[in-house]
Amino acid sequence: MNIRPALRSDMPQLVPLMRSYIVDFYQRPNPGDAAIEALAIHLLDHPDHGLQFVVIDGQQVVGFATLYFTFSTLQVKRAAILNDLFVHAGARGQKIGESLLRHCITYIREHDFAYLQWETAKDNHIAQALYDKMGAHRNEWLTYEIS
């Protein structure tokens, strides 16, 4: 297993994995492969906006994580939002998600980010167990959203 930043050459495997994450896992409407690829390519073309890591097992992309970059005024540093962490159903149970999260944490620490922040669904107890195990804490802020 190898974790590294996504490359353009990963698109044929990364796009279907991202579609599975959006459509199958979160049961959201399919945005279309062109839109998914455009998002991934945007991050490659604009590394100051964020980056994606992929997990390669043999020759297959079996997981990915997406970090978006922002800033913390309170800490006067860049901050990262872990927007996605997904492992293909057939590759789960091998601690790939844990390795991918550790990789993201190492990245933000090595690059002197203020923090790495993410959300999970209230009923996603499996993810919460992983985050608790990793030493993450639930912060005191409430998340609001408007569309």
Closest CA to 119 of 94, 106, 136: 136
Using alpha carbons, select from 43, 97, 37 the residue that is nearest to residue 69.
43
74 and 102 in contact (C-beta within 8 Å)?
A: no
pLDDT band at 31 (very low <50, low <70, confident <90, very high): very high
**Buried-exposed string 63-87: b where 16+ CB fall within 10 A, e elsewhere:** bbbbbebeeeeeeeebbbbbebbbb
Domains of the chain and any CATH numbers: 2-133 (3.40.630.30)
**What is residue 102's DSSP assignment?**
H
pLDDT of residue 143: 81
Model confidence, pTM: 0.92
Segment 89-114 mean pLDDT: 95
pLDDT of 147 above 80: no
pLDDT band at 57 (very low <50, low <70, confident <90, very high): very high
Judged against a pLDDT cut of 90, whether residue 55 lies above it is answered with: yes
